[in-house]
Amino acid sequence: MGNQNTSHFERLKDLPSTLSDSQCVLYKHEILICGGFRKENCYSYHTIKNKYKFICDYPSNIELYGHCVVKLIDNKNEITLLSFGGSIKHTLMMKHASIWDNNNKIKKSNNYNQWIPFTDNHNNQLSLEEIKIIIMECVQ
């Protein structure tokens, strides 16, 4: 039989920065890697190009150990991510537009690809408890 490689997994290129306990979200041909333990870097890995690009950093006052990132909205050219939890509880959102698309220069000036506080319609930051209530209402 010999010594055959029978792995069903492909090894990706190494990240530009070492991350552990990261949160990942799939978007088209990208894997969005959102921070990790004591690391606030976010990257996009393009699955076809086999390359990484830096997206942004989390705010410096956020501790990400135990955080969760979910995809809220999936439109044609953008998604909205929600990041919550962590050792110091936070609630942040990001409008994400692919950094692989050169036509997204306008979106860079409109709070895209950066973490901002997750707020209600009156611009009040939502707590983790308020988000839990919203999620529970959506699932019922």
- Reported for 106-110, long-range contacts at CB under 8 A and 24+ positions apart, including other chains, are 107/78
Structural domain containing residue 47: 23-139
Share of the chain above pLDDT 90, in %: 29
- The answer to whether position 12 is within a domain reads no
- The answer to whether position 4 is within a domain reads no
Q: What is the mean pLDDT of residues 44-53?
A: 93
- The answer to whether position 54 is within a domain reads yes
Q: Any idea of the CA torsion for 111, 115, 116, 121, to the nearest 10 degrees?
A: 80
- Report the C-alpha gap between 138 and 21 in whole angstroms: 27
pLDDT of residue 90: 86
Q: What is the mean pLDDT of residues 45-51?
A: 93
- The answer to whether position 13 is within a domain reads no
Share of the chain above pLDDT 70, in %: 84
Number of domains in the chain: 1
- The answer to whether position 8 is within a domain reads no
| DSSP-assigned letter for residue 44 | E
